[in-house]
Amino acid sequence: SINPNAALLFYWMELERQIRIEGRIEKLSKEESLEYFNSRPLDSRYGALASSQSEIIPDREYLEKKFSELKEKYGDNPPMPDNWGGFILKPVLFEFWQGRPNRLHDRIVYEKKESNWNIYRLSP
C-alpha cells in the first residue's frame, strides 16, 4: 500500500536550530503543476524539458544540444513535460528545536487536531 505521510526537516547547524514538519502528501493537479512550472525561470523550464531525469546520456554535449534545440523550437513558451508535476505536504505538525547547553534543548510543537492547533513543549 502507498504511505501518504511524510516529514520535512530543515537544520541550521550554526544556529543550533531545526524545524520538522509532518503531514500528508498530495499530488498537485495538472493545473497547479502548470502554474508552478510557468512561474519558474525560462532556462529552468527548458532544463526540465531537456532532461529525462536519471536516464543515462552519452555526454554533456548531448544535453546541451537538446537544450538549445528546444529553446529554438519553443522560444519563450516551452511546454510542461508530460511527466512533470509536483506534490504538496499538508502539515499537521511543526516542531521547533533550539539547541541548549547540557542537552536541555527547547522543543516546541504545534499539532493540528481537527481544526485546532495545539501547542506544547517536549522534553529533550
Tallying the residues shown for the chain, one arrives at 124
* pLDDT at site 18: 98
Rounded to whole angstroms, the Cα distance separating 10 from 20 reads: 7
- DSSP H or E run through 64: helix 60-74
Is 90 exceeded by the pLDDT of residue 49?
Answer: yes
Domain ranges of the chain: 1-28+86-124, 29-84
Catalytic residue among 40, 45, 100, 103: 103
- DSSP H or E run through 67: helix 60-74
Options 2.30.110.10, 3.40.50.360, 1.10.3720.10, 2.60.120.620; CATH for 1-28+86-124 is 2.30.110.10
* pLDDT tens profile 68-104: 999 999 999 999 999 899 899 999 999 999 999 899 9
| Catalytic residue check, 107 | no
pTM beyond 0.85: the answer is no
Using a pLDDT cut of 90, give the percent of the chain over it: 92
